[in-house]
Amino acid sequence: MQTSLNFRKEPFALLLLTTIILLFVLALRPITNVDFQDNVMFGVPLDNMVWIIPCFLISFWLLYLATKKFLYSTKATWVHVIATVASTLLIVSSLYVGINPTQTILENHELVGNIIQIVTFLFIAGQLTYIGNLILGLLKGQKVI
């Protein structure tokens, strides 16, 4: 078993490293109390929602462990990993920096919404890169009769 992370041969190890860093930061982040002026809000609080993101990153890492011998290109793997890590970190940071329930300026919320839409497009493009990489690898491995 390999004990170090080799990013040149396995760029998807960056997913594991990002997950560990996010889990560490989220665990050490102080819990904030948000006063909604005694209004009952139904939804998932941001504090609970961000814990789902490291679970997604771990699942991508496990998916790479399962499919790495079928992948076509290391460059496409890099594109997927960089797009996933960058978009994930940008979404988490824009959620924490941009959303403040005590702020009444709506322009800030529109800006955050636009940023998240653009970054979500980057995330989806990265996932399509992985699917294309996997399909090309599977087709290249098949022999035509």
Model confidence over 24-73: pLDDT tens digits?
776 655 544 444 555 544 455 666 666 778 888 888 888 988 998 898 98
| Residue 120 in domain | yes
pLDDT by residue (tens digit) across 3-24?
Answer: 556 667 778 777 888 888 877 7
- For 102, the domain range is 74-145
Alpha helices in the chain (DSSP H): 13-28, 46-49, 52-67, 74-98, 106-141
Q: Is 72 helix (H, G, I), strand (E, B) or coil?
A: coil
| Residue 4 in domain | no
| Residue 100 in domain | yes
User: How many domains would you assign to the chain?
Assistant: 1
| Residue 145 in domain | yes
pTM, whole model, 2 decimals? 0.66
CA proximity to 77, closest of 5, 129, 2, 18: 129
